[in-house]
Each structure stands twice: as C-alpha cells, then as structure tokens.
Structure 1
C-alpha cells in the first residue's frame, strides 16, 4: 500500500471519529448511554451524519450502497 492509500483511509477514519465524538457529547449532554431512548432518534441530524460517516468510512467515500 502506498502513502496515498493510507492518507485516504486516515481521512475517512478521522471524519468518522469526529462524528463519534460529537454523538457521544450529545449523549452526555442528554444524560443518555445511547441514542436509542432519545425522542429525536429518527429525526436527529447529528445521528444521521454519524450513520453517513460510517457508510463513507466503509466504502472510503466511493459512494454506492451496501447490501446486508
């Protein structure tokens, strides 16, 4: 693997880590251990951005969907 590939991987992992920190900060602020009991669970912009960051880190930003 060359350095360019490593930088791309790091970029997506860094973005994911940033969103995770934001999500955890919100959970602490709301006195929750997870997002599940939150009233905004389905309409939460922060949670949606985290989920998108997870997908982006899985496909390294190349787009497309995932089939589970």
Structure 2
C-alpha cells in the first residue's frame, strides 16, 4: 500500500511507523472522496466529518489482527 497506492519509496515505507501509515491512508481516501468529479451530489460541510474508510479499516484489521472499534 505504501509504495504503490501512496507512492512512497521502499525505504520510507519500511521505516514509517504503522500509525502514520494508517493516517496517510485515511488522508488519501478522504482526498480522493473530496476531489471525485463524479461525487454523490451532496456537499459536505466542515461539521460533517467523513466516516472512516472501509478499505482502510479492513487493512488495519488485517495488519494488526485486531477489530477496529
């Protein structure tokens, strides 16, 4: 995920702590949702925080072996 989807170098991917990787994945997903030209049609206000991504949650669960609460 770090070298392909996030575009990081292999050295950076191996040295970055897991929590920072998860934050970067969440930010990438949020950015992709905000810049989607085929959006859902509803606008989000600053007060509406996007829900956590299912993809990031499943990856986090697979890598840590723990359920995401």
Write 1 or 2 for the structure with the bigger share of helix: 1
Higher RCO (C-alpha 8 Å, min separation 6): 1
Q: Same fold (TM over 0.5)?
A: no
TM-score, reference length from structure 1: 0.37
